[in-house]
Amino acid sequence: MSAHALLSPSSAARWMACPGSVAACEGLPDKSSEFADEGTAAHELAALCLVEGGTAADRIGLKIHAGRDGRVFTVDVDMATHVQAYVDYVRALVQSTGGELLVEQRLSIEHITGEPGARGTADAVILADGELIVADLKYGRGVPVDADDNPQLQIYALAALREFCALGDFRAVRLVIHQPRLGSVSEWAQPVAELEQFGQAAWNAAVDTRAADAPRVPGEKQCKFCRAKANCPSLAARVQQEVGADFEDLTAFDRAHTEAWTQKRETMPADQLGAALAAVDLIEMWCKAVRGEVETRLLAGVPVPGWKLVQGKRGNRRWTSEEEAEAVLKAMRVKHDQMYDYSLISPTTAEKLAKGNFIGPRQWPKVAALITQAEGKPSVAPETDKRPALVLSAVADDFDTVATEPSQEEAVSDLV
């Protein structure tokens, strides 16, 4: 993607839902993280394998520079194993469709966003018979991302259709998101006619972003990666509306408020409780962004009334030089088993060794037979979650009621 592209495909979920966020984010630093740079390095490794052939394991030890700071990542067994899963998946798609593979394709998106010279880079494009496939590698360990109605991939698909329309009669597109570190693959097919309808919606949203009074529309998805959320008055107003209390009044929170809130909580109708939970993620996101913004300003020497920087908790103790410490302890005749800590590798590490062929395919079943895994504990999720709802054999009446009186701090925590 070109450096000047404000309406990038990767941020389409934000600017299509919140047109005002584009102007709000303009000029703000786009901070890169080690995790993001690691993802860039993984993409480079995947591209090398798909273009030059071979496996990711062949490139263990390769050093890849990634990110604005030029961080150096060395390909290890872990990265090679996960990247190879994506590479194998793409190669299988090419083989099953007989299509032509194009890797790291830079595509013009100017006709979609109206921004002169704007381009985006698709990880992999496959030109098959009657079908165009766009595959995207996401290397992070976050939550699974669905390909269904994914605006980033839909923009890539529109751009690829325009670029390669002369090479085939494409009647449908298939969008693929591969997240190897989560073991997640999401595919979604869409007729070209429906994709073109999305294209018109994207164009209209892009036009809205250039309006002088472009609205800000807070929401969990669009605010998640927005750089302006800490200073967004619309988000602050939305949070205050959801909480239902003036933040300034929280400093005067007393016992009477605690008892009143406890009584209200016990009698809150289920629909109100559900609506309150739906706002929790957005509120927590805003709180974290505000804390980060205050810290950034204080570190820069900009005063924030009522707040200051203090020395945090000291880090863990460590040797200034492990080699020197080892030599000193040996000279003192400290016993070997007292000097060193040993622990068996985890099943996850053992599986990585198997995928990297350090444990043979005939040997792995013996190791796998010794692995067990506990079932996941029940977790609250929205009804839109694709996982099936649990059917519990026990009901609330089966349990004894334990009366507890929340502390003042717990009550405040519940409120905000």
Q: Rounded to an integer, what distance in angstroms lies between the CA atom of residue 405 and that of residue 259?
A: 9
pLDDT of residue 221: 87
Domain co-membership, 163 together with 91:
yes
Whether 99 maps to a domain, the answer reads yes
Which residue type is seen at 145? V
Helices 280-299, 233-243: crossing angle, 10 deg rounding: 130
Domain co-membership, 55 together with 30:
yes
Domain boundary among 181, 214, 247: 214
pLDDT of residue 113: 95
Whether 377 maps to a domain, the answer reads no
Whether 328 maps to a domain, the answer reads yes
Whether 379 maps to a domain, the answer reads no
Domain boundary among 168, 192, 214: 214
Q: How many domains does the chain have?
A: 3
Whether 195 maps to a domain, the answer reads yes
Domain co-membership, 178 together with 104:
yes
- Residues of the chain where predicted confidence (pLDDT) is lower than 50: 1-3, 246-255, 261, 265, 395-416
pLDDT of residue 263: 54
Whether 376 maps to a domain, the answer reads no
Whether 410 maps to a domain, the answer reads yes
Owning domain of residue 234: 228-307+386-416
Whether 317 maps to a domain, the answer reads no
pLDDT of residue 250: 42
Domain co-membership, 23 together with 136:
yes
Domain co-membership, 28 together with 169:
yes
Q: Rounded to an integer, what distance in angstroms lies between the CA atom of residue 378 and that of residue 62?
A: 42
Domain CATH code at residue 89: 3.90.320
With helix as H, strand as E and coil as C, how does 235-253 read?
Answer: HHHHHHHHHCCCHHHHHHC
Give the strand pairing for 172-179 and 71-74.
Answer: unpaired
Domain co-membership, 354 together with 408:
no
Domain co-membership, 144 together with 244:
no
Give the residue among 415, 413, 382, 21 at the shortest CA–CA distance from 242. 415
pLDDT of residue 268: 64
Domain co-membership, 345 together with 275:
no
Domain co-membership, 233 together with 209:
no
pLDDT of residue 396: 46
Whole-prediction pTM value?
A: 0.70
Q: How many helices (H) and strands (E) does the chain have?
A: 17, 7
Domain co-membership, 408 together with 263:
yes
Q: Contacts for 268-277 with beta carbons within 8 Å, 24 or more apart?
A: 276/242, 277/380
Task: Using the CB atoms, write b or e for 274-292: b if 16+ within 10 Å.
Answer: eebeebeebbebbeebbee
Which residue type is seen at 288? K
Domain co-membership, 249 together with 149:
no
Q: Rounded to an integer, what distance in angstroms lies between the CA atom of residue 314 and that of residue 299?
A: 18
pLDDT of residue 266: 54
Domain boundary among 188, 214, 240: 214
CA distances from 68 to 65, 71, 104, 402 (A): 9, 8, 19, 55
Token pair of 165, please?
Answer: 């329309």
Are residues 183 and 86 in contact, defined by beta-carbon separation less than 8 angstroms? no
Domain co-membership, 198 together with 302:
no
